[in-house]
Chain A
Amino acid sequence: QQQVKQSPQSLIVQKGGISIINCAYENTAFDYFPWYQQFPGKGPALLIAIRPDVSEKKEGRFTISFNKSAKQFSLHIMDSQPGDSATYFCAASGFNYGQNFVFGPGTRLSVLP
């Protein structure tokens, strides 16, 4: 119940295309869902996050779509750029669940020029 599943494991997209990464969770106590972006040699950095009271959140080219009934959420990167090439982690946490985030295993995105 504490697991967050993430797919695909790796993704290759042409420049200008749409990158889509999907995550699923089981624990209904989760109520905060962030996405982290990690470049080689760096720690993960918070990219965008959503709470379950909304179905979508958009920040620039990055959009989170959230389906509470299916317990799924996804990250969409529009107009993908080579600079977006990184590893992306979804995560979940809940105020009443515990004090640490549960992370998905990560998706390695490569955007071809």
Chain B
Amino acid sequence: GAGVSQSPSNKVTEKGKDVELRCDPISGHTALYWYRQSLGQGLEFLIYFQGNSAPDKSGLPSDRFSAERTGGSVSTLTIQRTQQEDSAVYLCASSLSQGIYGYTFGSGTRLTVV
């Protein structure tokens, strides 16, 4: 597609439930990133995928968070046993290569845990 597509755009879930957030990067972009943006805050790096290499998971805040990227394209971020502090906008970005050329971000998924 023309841009990075994220779904759903909004998600309200009950505390303790699992959620899955989807990212469809720009076709041909080998690098894919997940960031978290809390209300009024900056961007917190979560995880990075580059081609078929092992992902950089160094930003994941806890073992409740995981992500996968299938076929080098679509990625899913999964949050298990959601907590209220997980409420944030989850942004996905992709880039042509190793990110040095700048990212293209999606519009994000706004997650609200009640």
Contacts and interface: CB of A to CB of B under 8 A. Distances in A.
**A and B: interacting chains:** yes
Contacts of B100: 32, 93-95
A46 B108 CA distance: 15
Q: Report whether over half of chain A's contact residues are helix, strand or loop; otherwise say mixed.
A: loop
A46 B77 CA distance: 23
Nearest to B104: A46
Contact of A99 (B42, B50, B102): B50
Nearest to B59: A100
B93 interface: yes
Interface string A31-48: 010101000011111100
Nearest to B6: A43
A49 interface: yes
A89 interface: yes
Given A42-B108, A99-B48, A104-B42, 12 more contacts: A42-B107, A43-B93, A44-B105, A49-B102, A93-B99, A95-B98, A98-B56, A99-B56, A99-B99, A100-B59, A106-B41, A106-B42
